[in-house]
Amino acid sequence: MYAVILLHLVKLPVVKYVYMAVNWTHIYDKYKGLWVGLADDEVTVVASGKTVEEVMDKSKKKGLNLPILFKVPTKIIPFIGSFNL
């Protein structure tokens, strides 16, 4: 008894990622120390709050179920160096 295996070849699109720096200065100035929920464009602030839960609730009310969550630091501290895993 032989098994016949059919392979269905699917041409998948090639995904290329372009990494660019994003200017979050306006976010830092307005939301220091808070959690923010960003839209998919990584610039538009959908919601902000003191806790992640608060940001998630506000984002869901505005129709964005999975925002990009980001804790805005209170101070910008430069980092020079590296780390090893």
- Residue-wise pLDDT for 11-58, tens only, equals 666 666 666 778 888 899 999 999 999 998 888 999 999 999 999 999
Contacts of 46 (CB under 8 A, 6+ apart): 37, 38, 39, 58, 59, 62, 64, 67
Q: What is the pLDDT of residue 16?
A: 67
Q: What distance in Å separates the CA atoms of residue 48 and residue 26, rounded to the nearest whole number? A: 14
How is the chain split into domains, by residue range?
A: 34-71
Indicate whether this model's pTM tops 0.85.
no
Please give the backbone phi and psi of residue 69, each rounded to the nearest 5 degrees, phi first.
-90, 140
| Residue 79 or 59, more confident | 59
